Amino acid sequence: MKCHDHSGQLLRSVHRKTDHQRGPGHFGQLLQPGRGTGGAARAQHRRQGHHRDRRPDQGPPGLGHRRTQRRPAGTRARRNSASAVRRVGQATHGDDRRCHRGQRRLQPDRHRVGAAYPLRSLTVALHIIAARGSTEPQSGSFILEPIGRKLIAAFPDARLTQLAYPATLQFDSSVPAGVTALLSVLNSSAPDEDLVLLGFSQGAWVIGETLALPSGRMYGADAEALDSGAADRIRSVVFFGDPRFTEGEPFNAGTFEPGRQAELARPLGTLRAYESRLRNYCAKDDLACQGPGGNMFAHVSYASNEMPDQAVEFILNSLRD
């Protein structure tokens, strides 16, 4: 139905709601399978002979409606079904810009424990060890604690250990103490336990020194070596904001700027024995892993960026192998 105002200008049909008139439920339906009925309705109208006079409840003529040569009904049905599948597939991945314009694109729910990773059916004795960053409380890191909770949600029998070490800014004493403490935990772990190591900031430094051969350590060279049995049971290692981040390592991840590395970077290849089990996440301009010119805001950005979710996915995949 067409309407005109007193000036003779064509107005929008009174029977067609604009986007701002539609309720939120309208857009929610676009994200649900089996809701792509608009195309099927228009196809049915075309099969009815392209009636010139449309009923008012059908909306204004000409919107998405054009005369085409009639085709077999089965052909149109298949095409409309495929279109609906494409729309649903796009919407579930956050591509429906009609309802998310100006917002960050939605991400697939692949990081929700139990969604893409039905891991409760697996039987694993899992020990998660988290090494907090400098000056963080012994109760846990604000970045690592949520990761540990997600892993425990997948493995209810898993246990989480917050590594007890000073985590002070006196690195020459705090880091060696952390290496000694971590070696004690790892070398005394049960032989049937799979191990996951999480480290943020100084905690990543501690784990890296522990995994390195004593001769390759900056601190803790006098400490004992990691037991080979414990080393074999380490399933995954994740670092965030590592003060010894080395440019060019195959396990590097994140938004770091190529060509930059930590001021105290490890020699290339120091952790080669763990490269398939390790992810070292570094954010651009993180003063710890990107060296001079970085800032503290980037160093704590891991709490709000996508890297912890990527780490969870990496760990869960490693536990499925």
Give the tens place of pLDDT for each residue, 135-145. Answer: 999 999 999 99
Tokens found for residue 104 = 């960050």
Give 291 or 40, the one with higher predicted confidence. 291
Same domain, 292 and 158: yes
Return all residues near 111 (Cβ < 8 A) that are at least 6 apart: 150, 309, 312, 313
Same domain, 184 and 261: yes
Distances (CA, A) of 140 to 68, 236, 264, 296, 306: 66, 19, 25, 19, 20
How large is the angle between the packed helices 307-320 and 144-154, nearest 10 degrees? 30
Torsion of the alpha carbons at 262, 266, 271 and 275, rounded to the nearest 10 = 30
Tokens found for residue 36 = 């792509």
Mean pLDDT throughout 162-177?
A: 98
pLDDT of residue 308: 98
Q: Report the first-to-last Cα separation within the chain, whole angstroms.
A: 62
The Cα–Cα gap between 200 and 136 comes to 10
Same domain, 286 and 156: yes
Residue closest to 318 by CA, chosen among 238, 218, 223, 204: 238
**Using an 8 Å Cβ cutoff, are 70 and 50 in contact?**
no
Same domain, 65 and 138: no
Count how many domains the chain has. Answer: 2
Write the burial class of residue 319 (CB in 10 Å: 0-12 exposed, 13-18 middle, 19+ buried): buried
Task: Establish if 110 belongs to a structural domain.
Answer: no
Same domain, 92 and 191: no
Same domain, 208 and 284: yes
Which of 64-78, 87-101, 204-218 tops mean pLDDT? Answer: 204-218
Task: Establish if 112 belongs to a structural domain.
Answer: no
Task: Establish if 149 belongs to a structural domain.
Answer: yes
Same domain, 86 and 140: no
Mean pLDDT throughout 53-65?
A: 43
Residue 113 has pLDDT above 70, yes or no: no
Give the single-character DSSP code of 218: S
Same domain, 158 and 297: yes
Position 258: which residue type?
P
Q: What is the mean pLDDT of the chain?
A: 76
Residue 243 has pLDDT above 80, yes or no: yes
pLDDT of residue 320: 86
Q: Of 12-21, 184-193, 229-238, which range is least confident?
A: 12-21
- Domain containing residue 300: CATH number: 3.40.50.1820
pLDDT of residue 264: 97
Same domain, 194 and 315: yes
Same domain, 223 and 279: yes
Task: Establish if 198 belongs to a structural domain.
Answer: yes
CB atoms within 10 A of CB 132: 28
Give the single-character DSSP code of 143: T
Residue 27 has pLDDT above 50, yes or no: no
Mean pLDDT throughout 303-315?
A: 97
pTM greater than 0.75 (yes/no): no
Which domain, by its residues, includes 176? 120-320
Task: Establish if 115 belongs to a structural domain.
Answer: no
